[in-house]
Amino acid sequence: MNDRAPLVRAEAMIVRLPLLQPFVTGFGVTDSRHTVVVHLVDESGNEGWGEGPALDHPFYLPETTATTYAVVTEYALPLALRSGSLEPREIATVLSRIRGNGFARAGVEAAYWSLEAARSGRSLRDLVGGTRPAVPVGESISITETVEQTVEVARERVAAGYRRIKLKIQPGWDVEVVRAVRDALGGDVMLQTDANAAYTLADADTLAALDEFDLACIEQPLGWDALPEHAVLQRRIRTPICLDESLRSPADVHRALDLDACRNVNCKPARVGGITATLQIAALCEQRGVPLWCGGIMESGIGRAGNLALASLPAFNHPADMSPAAELFAWDLVDPTYELDPDGTIRVPTDPGLGFPVREDRIAEQLVRRDVLLGDGPQPSP
């Protein structure tokens, strides 16, 4: 029943997503969050939704909300529309002409994936080849004022069911806090750290001191683009290095594995350029037997829908970063949104299309800017 109806509307928006608490990491404090939303509608009324969830600032990666929006509205969405294709993998190929700017490409491509799911009456999970009914998840814990506060949060999270705890670390906030949390939680809880590029090779001894805590991995200890340096560090520590910031395409993952710069992969679908790129990374990690998991970047439910579908693939064999929307934001852009079940999993929607009802009224209330590239409707804001 594949519907052949053409597109009648295509628009991009910047939407405010108020955080309940600042997120504190090795790259600094994130206390303001906007996100880029892409919306497609075809003549039969099928809808596609995608998100390009760069952060507002350039302290995690070079892209920001503003640069992502510019690339979406000036290049990615126009290129996709001009191609005339509605096939998501063809759209990924069209967008591959754009260098970098993974968040912008991912946002546009995701809208075509969820549109295709709606048009074919399938769930996003089935469309991407996901199999699990539910995805095990862990929690990413901000840097806090005191070690006791982090221990308290980690205890609460384990009691809530989370399958894995990830502690944000930075120089001066590492061995002591990891020891305290390991002592409090015991040896059975899966524990890992994320430095968000806050260390250099001069800190190798400190990072090696984390070996005694049986961590599942140390995420991005060194510079955001420091692949060879991570290979040097991996030779000096036993704990597997996981890369996040340094992996921005399937080619980056290839290079990192060939260099032995990491032995564990955090794949954030938006960071690597989208769903098609993620499927390539999943195939590569599966072939090489490398632990793979789905990272998050505090997306709204629109972005999380794609993450959930992908994290349900068998290649994703380590718990995902997917703090529930209710813990991150005053509200989500989808309602009902996803929730943590007491067994530490999040159910993967099986409804056709995106799988979550989008709250267009909330998007309208929180709208900062909108550009309509195809169809009638509100004029682009000044």
Binding site for ligand OSB (CB under 6 A): 60, 140, 194, 196, 244, 295-298, 321-323
Closest to Mg ion by CB, 109 vs 244, is 244
Q: Nearest-CA neighbor of 213 among 255, 244, 167?
A: 167
Strands 367-374 and 190-194: unpaired
Residue 177 binds what, of Mg ion, ligand OSB, none (CB under 5 to 8 Å, by partner type)? Answer: none
Query: Measured in whole angstroms, how far is the alpha carbon of residue 14 from the centre of its chain?
Result: 18
Residue 337 binds what, of ligand OSB, Mg ion, none (CB under 5 to 8 Å, by partner type)? Answer: none
Which residue is nearest to ligand OSB, using beta carbons? 296
* Residues with active-site annotation: 168, 268
Closest to ligand OSB by CB, 269 vs 296, is 296
Which residue is nearest to Mg ion, using beta carbons? 244
Written as one letter, the residue type at 30 is: T
Q: Minimum distance from CB of 216 to ligand OSB (Å)?
A: 14
Closest to ligand OSB by CB, 269 vs 353, is 269
Q: Minimum distance from CB of 318 to ligand OSB (Å)?
A: 13
Closest to Mg ion by CB, 14 vs 24, is 24
User: Rule CB under 5 A: is residue 194 a binding residue for Mg ion?
Assistant: yes
Contact residues for 222 (Cβ-Cβ < 8 A; gap 6+): 195, 197, 199, 200, 201, 229, 230, 233
Q: Minimum distance from CB of 124 to ligand OSB (Å)?
A: 18
205-244 mask for Mg ion (x: CB under 5 A)? --------------x------------------------x
Q: Minimum distance from CB of 353 to ligand OSB (Å)?
A: 23
Q: Nearest-CA neighbor of 189 among 217, 214, 224?
A: 214
List residues near Mg ion by CB under 5 A: 194, 219, 244
